[in-house]
Structure 1
Amino acid sequence: MNGHAAHSPDRLSFRVLGPLEVDGPDGHPLDLCGGKPATVLTLLLLHRNAWVSTEQLVDAVWAGRDVPASAQNNLKTYVWQLRRSLPDERIESRPGAYRVRVLPGELDADDAADLCDQARDLLGRKRAAEAITAVQHALELWRGVPYDGLTDATSAVDRLIELHRALREDLADAQLLLERPAEAIAVLRALTEEEPLRELAWARLMAAYRQVGRRNDALAAYQRARTALVRDLGIEPGAELTALHQQILSEEARPISPLLVSSNLPPRVPGFVGREPEQQALRGVSGVVTIDGMPGIGKTAFALEVAAASGFETQQYVDLHRPTSLSSATGLLILDNVENADQIRHLLPNDTNALVLVISRRRLADLDRTAAITLDVLAPAEAARLTDIEQILNCCGGHPGAIRHLAERLRNRQPWTVARMAGRLEDQPARCQALAEVLARFDSAYDALPGPAQRLYRLIGMTPRFDLRQAARLTGTDRPDAELMVDQLMDLNLVTEPAPGRFEIGSVIRDHTSQLMMVSGPQAELVA
């Protein structure tokens, strides 16, 4: 049958933003036989709803190779195989040509273009959060090179690659509108490294650096852009980039802003990722906010991101491990490494408009506060933004400090390969050695526990998911005593409770408990 089906056709999902995939009406993937049939369908999708000559299809299937005498008959076989896989006679024929019918919303390349248009419209109306959602949905459609396997799809592939770049630039624009310059800078740095001749990305990067007061970084970005343009194209930067450079240069003579004069905050963590819901929850908040979490989870880094977006002209940082005099108690105050509420009550300001971020490994429940934030491990998608090395992600369980440490360790050992790192990470003693600096940060939390809770902590490494009954059996105590010990572990964020009465520990903590068991655990515990 060559005409359209009389009934409403079942909806399919054609994905060409990477290796060809097709999902049926039930959402399950269809078997396209791969190889040459898949190449035929990919070319038909490139020219969806239009006729494609058999000569074009033959050229695509046997690209760069001798075309056999049986090519036309073979092509009919491939089309027959595709028709068996696709419902509703989606592939139509006429003498010397074929076409595939694609309905609106069935092709991921079209969806990506539509989402890009939506994001641009939302940005134009200053609805940045919605624009970010649209852009992220579009970027999630990419799985690799568009129309993978076709040799004559250069112009279409170039258009889609350009669309991908534009979406990332739109993402950065939206992040800047929401005053998330650190996230925008991470996106734009990646873009400029991939496309050093893309002036628009350089201009956005300079603007982002300028927004957070990193003037020298903005000027350095201009110099890198100019070097690339002169070296590769023999031209000077365009008018927009040059004008922005001059504006930043002219700001040198301006008085330093009060924010820079009164801030003693440490540098922010480069490439900070995640924590968007927590940051959003603190926008415009005043009063006392506690931030707790396990060692290395990124409490201080998170507080510095909140401070960067707060807009307070006075920002002060006090490390309770290295106390310094407090010049005033207005604006924004970060109190780090707080052990208990009594340490800081005298430091809290009377100004109701001030914001105080109290950072502790403990949950400070006995402090009068506006909000409480407990930072957990990163979600898999967020953790993957720190490294693309699967073996590191698998062994770190979303712990940002551990991921950064191992990724940096690999970068600093050029002769190492990912395979060599993977081998070390699969062996627990070698993994603990590689993570020694990270695991050492848990020692102080362990030392703060009473003796019985220390013993439970060592033992739960052998059963990372447990309930109170199992905790009591491990320690040889009754349920109330076990519950008290579990509460002590939870107060230090060493144990989480994903469901009522069900507790668990992360992979990094499990390595720490195993290390303690080998070093300080009594022989009887090892036998048990």
Structure 2
Amino acid sequence: MNGHSAHSPAPSLAFRVLGPLEVDGSDGVQLDVGGGKPATVLALLLLHRNAWVSTEQLVDAVWAGLDVPASAQNNLKTYVWQLRRALPDDRIESRPGAYRVRVESGELDADVASALCDEARALVSRGAAAEAVAVVQQALELWRGRPYDGLTDDAASAVDRLTELHRSLREDLADAHLALGRPSEAIAVLRVLTDEEPLRELAWSRLMAAYRQVGRRHDALAAFQRARTALVRDLGIEPGHELAALHQEILNEDAPRPVVAPVSSNLPPRLTTFVGRAPELHALRGATGVVTIDGMPGIGKTAFAVEAAALSGHEVQQYVDVRTAAVAPTGVGLLILDNVEHADQVQPLLPNNPEALVLVLSRARLAGLDRTTAITLAPLAPAEARELADVPQILAAAGGHPGAIRHLVERLRNRQPWTVTRLTAQLEHQSGRCQALADLLTRFDPAYQALPTPAANLYRRCSPLTHFDLTQAAHLAAVPPNQVEPLIDHLLDLNLLSEPAPGLFTLLPIARDHAHHLHHSTTSQPKPELVA
């Protein structure tokens, strides 16, 4: 056909070159473009998309390293004919001595990955690290193997560029995790990258910074030594200025002071399986005054407070359940006030000691306290959750909720293998999860029972939705749109709901299962405690 002929609008295709060549049609179904030599022709045309590629260049690529047969030009025409039959809308154009493939914007995965990388970096620069993580992960999912697999010398520069892009995306992912206070996630990414690319100093410096952020000074220094060993051994050079300067900074930092065991303490036992929360624990180093710690039931507030107390060095430590407290403790250096519902319960129990640290634990965000710090405990990051369990069904069902993970692990303890298989299979369905987590879900009941009817309606009815906005929330709560935001805020303050993006809401893990159970058990029935 003539390369200058008019074209009708083309259906959207997906050309995949970040691995073995694949082409998907507009319906998402993979097209059969063949393999071998026809695939090599299409791969080279995609490498030079929307540009003319000479038949001589195509022949050289198809028979790379082989004797070129006398019939090569005719064979090439056959391969192009086969590709034209597989691709819609005359995507392969020709003129004397050359061919080209027409690729629309967004159709080639290599271009999409590059655009997503730019988008992620722009998001990080604007402080939108959570959105950047999602964008980078979307880009990384495009990789299925070596770019332009099957091409040799022709694709060398493109392969190098895309391989570097893949490395940069993983470094960007680590940066975004660090910006979100998820150093464990960043460390998991960077350890893989430094294992694969031991001469990449930028990855080593990020790994050292991540270890430093969670207080793992010895790991940061060990990472520098591994980097230096690789650089000296393979390149004969010392680490560059940035890596060496970071190493020196960490060396110059004061070593952590030994933690002194408390002389007097009635605290609950410290969890031997405590994981995560490194940024939050770091925030409490040397802290004094009132610190509020809130989070949903079972998220680990008490375990976190006990861990913080163990690291605090205070000699006199006291635990008080405010539901039973009668008198204020005296002479304490660290005080944990648990099960607090409102600020009035705290004031009479505060010690008259400006150096004391008071940890106030509540399921809801508290107002009306003169505090130095407020900490909200979110679900564990995936890498942290995997330290508690290695069963995929448990991790998926719990969604990072440590109480749920421990509950489900205990449920499977000392079971026969076939019983474990049956019980974990139940977790893949919401009704099965609700049954397995019944004891934990009852701890959400008091918060639900205290909700006003519109907020209770919203909580139950949003459980089938992955996300919802204010308009949907008003409909679910059966209130006018101008009255729905206070209900949303109430659920946010109770740590039942999150707002992952502006104006977009979702129930938190386990809270969704609780709301689902209520939705199906109380459909069309008012809450008994709210009936006049």
TM-score relative to the length of structure 2: 0.59
- 1:372-423: per-residue Cα shift (whole Å, max 9, x none)? 9899xx9xxx69x969xxxx98x75244899xxxxxxxxxxxxxxxxxxxxx
Q: In 2, distance between residues paired with 1:58 and 1:85?
A: 21
Say if 2:202 is the partner of 1:197. no
Q: In 2, distance between residues paired with 1:134 and 1:154?
A: 27
Tell me, what secondary structure is at the counterpart of 1:252? coil
- 1:167-189: per-residue Cα shift (whole Å, max 9, x none)? 11111111111111111111111
Q: Which residue of 354, 361, 365 corresponds with 1:356? A: 361
Q: Which residue of 410, 414, 423 corresponds with 1:441? A: 410
How big is the shift at 1:74?
A: 1.4
Q: Give RMSD over aligned pairs.
A: 5.6
Q: In 2, distance between residues paired with 1:462 and 1:204?
A: 37
Q: How does 1:168-207 map to 2 (within 5 A)?
A: 168-207=170-209
Equivalent in the alignment of 2:96:
95
User: Is the 1:12–1:25 Cα contact (8 Å) retained in structure 2?
Assistant: yes
User: Is the 1:226–1:237 Cα contact (8 Å) retained in structure 2?
Assistant: yes
Q: In 2, distance between residues paired with 1:259 and 1:184?
A: 31
TM-score relative to the length of structure 1: 0.59
The one-letter amino acid paired with 2:56 is: E
The one-letter amino acid paired with 1:129 is: A
Residues 307, 333 of structure 1: alpha-carbon distance in 2 compared, 3 angstrom cutoff: farther
Equivalent in the alignment of 1:232:
234
Equivalent in the alignment of 1:147:
148
Equivalent in the alignment of 2:295:
289
The one-letter amino acid paired with 1:201 is: A
How big is the shift at 1:267?
A: 8.1
Residues 250, 150 of structure 1: alpha-carbon distance in 2 compared, 3 angstrom cutoff: same
Q: In 1, distance between residues paired with 2:201 and 2:48?
A: 32
Q: How does 1:348-497 map to 2 (within 5 A)?
A: 354-356=359-361, 396-399=392-395, 441-442=410-411, 464=426
Q: In 2, distance between residues paired with 1:155 and 1:306?
A: 55
Identity %: 57
How big is the shift at 1:246?
A: 1.0
User: Is the 1:226–1:236 Cα contact (8 Å) retained in structure 2?
Assistant: yes
Tell me, what secondary structure is at the counterpart of 2:253? helix
User: Is the 1:303–1:334 Cα contact (8 Å) retained in structure 2?
Assistant: no
The one-letter amino acid paired with 1:228 is: A
Q: How does 1:292-371 map to 2 (within 5 A)?
A: 292=298, 329-330=334-335, 354-356=359-361
Q: Which runs of 5+ in 2 are unaligned?
A: 279-290, 322-330, 340-344, 352-356, 364-374, 399-405, 444-509, 521-532
Q: In 2, distance between residues paired with 1:301 and 1:64?
A: 65
Equivalent in the alignment of 2:71:
70
Say if 2:245 is the partner of 1:243. yes
Equivalent in the alignment of 2:56:
55
The one-letter amino acid paired with 2:361 is: V
How big is the shift at 1:215?
A: 1.2
The one-letter amino acid paired with 1:397 is: Q
Q: In 2, distance between residues paired with 1:252 and 1:374?
A: 32
User: Is the 2:19–2:147 Cα contact (8 Å) retained in structure 1?
Assistant: yes
Residues 98, 265 of structure 1: alpha-carbon distance in 2 compared, 3 angstrom cutoff: same
- 1:51-106: per-residue Cα shift (whole Å, max 9, x none)? 11212222222232333222211111111111111112111111221111111111
Tell me, what secondary structure is at the counterpart of 1:99? strand
Q: In 2, distance between residues paired with 1:29 and 1:55?
A: 30
Equivalent in the alignment of 1:27:
28
Aligned residues: 391
Q: In 2, distance between residues paired with 1:497 and 1:132?
A: 28
Residues 440, 183 of structure 1: alpha-carbon distance in 2 compared, 3 angstrom cutoff: closer
How big is the shift at 1:486?
A: 9.8
Q: In 2, distance between residues paired with 1:484 and 1:441?
A: 15
The one-letter amino acid paired with 1:237 is: P
- 1:104-126: per-residue Cα shift (whole Å, max 9, x none)? 11111011111111222222233
Q: In 2, distance between residues paired with 1:186 and 1:114?
A: 25
How big is the shift at 1:133?
A: 2.1
